[in-house]
């Protein structure tokens, strides 16, 4: 599991993340590993204009979500022990890692937050898809490098996917941020 977390952490090309410690308990029972995060810096070493004020919370959301990889899918599922669906995963991750209460379906979650153009997505933003001929019928958490983590369907487990290729790329609708 430690090797998996370290290899997944390399997905964060734009962030400086240092993983410190990793428990031996199964992922469903452990808290995300503590992280040291440095906000993006300008060439002079100062903060980048427009950098998210809650960069640390967004990083915690991403790391917590990655800790749920391989969790079983369950329609209506809201915790890893029972299984998760897409909106249940998002609600669980945001509550446990960022202390943000987000409840409801993917469409309900899409009504909250601030729209973000695809080119400006940051780790921790939510990405929404039309997967059932219905707007905002699926949601995932953007992790950087044009990838997101989600609970796909009853034939799968929590996993990562590409926003740029494959089945979900053609169904991407929008991104939203909850940290600005």
Q: Tokens in use for 113?
A: 């937050």
Q: Is 150 a catalytic residue?
A: yes
CA 4 to chain centre: 16
- Indicate which residue of 22, 55, 136, 138 is catalytic: 138
- Indicate which residue of 22, 55, 86, 136 is catalytic: 86
Q: Is 138 a catalytic residue?
A: yes
- Helices 2-9 and 55-66 pack at an angle, to 10 degrees, of 140
- Rg of the chain over CA atoms, in angstroms? 15
Give the span between the Cα atoms of 47 and 117, in whole angstroms.
22
Count other C-beta atoms under 10 Å from residue 69's C-beta: 16
- Indicate which residue of 6, 55, 136, 150 is catalytic: 150
Q: Is 86 a catalytic residue?
A: yes
CA dihedral (39, 159, 137, 99) positive or negative: negative
- Cβ–Cβ < 8 Å for 67, 30: yes
Q: Tokens in use for 164?
A: 């740029």
Active site (catalytic) residues: 86, 138, 150
């Amino acid at each position: 599991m430690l090797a998996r977390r370290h290899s997944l952490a390399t997905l964060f090309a734009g962030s400086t993340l240092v993983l410190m410690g990793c428990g031996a308990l199964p992922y469903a029972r452990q808290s995300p590993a503590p992280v040291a995060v440095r906000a993006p810096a300008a060439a002079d070493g100062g903060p980048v204009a427009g950098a998210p004020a809650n960069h640390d919370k967004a990083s915690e959301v991403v790391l917590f979500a990655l800790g749920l990889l391989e969790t079983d899918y369950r329609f209506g599922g809201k915790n890893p022990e029972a299984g998760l669906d897409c909106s249940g995963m998002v609600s669980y991750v945001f509550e446990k890692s960022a202390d943000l209460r987000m409840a409801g379906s993917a469409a309900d979650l899409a009504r909250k937050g601030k729209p973000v153009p695809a080119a400006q997505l940051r780790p921790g933003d939510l990405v929404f898809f039309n997967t059932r001929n219905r707007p905002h019928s699926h949601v995932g958490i953007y992790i950087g490098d044009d990838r997101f983590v989600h609970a796909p369907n009853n034939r799968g487990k929590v996993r990562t996917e590409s926003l740029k290729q494959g089945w979900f790329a053609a169904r991407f609708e929008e991104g939203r941020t909850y940290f600005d």
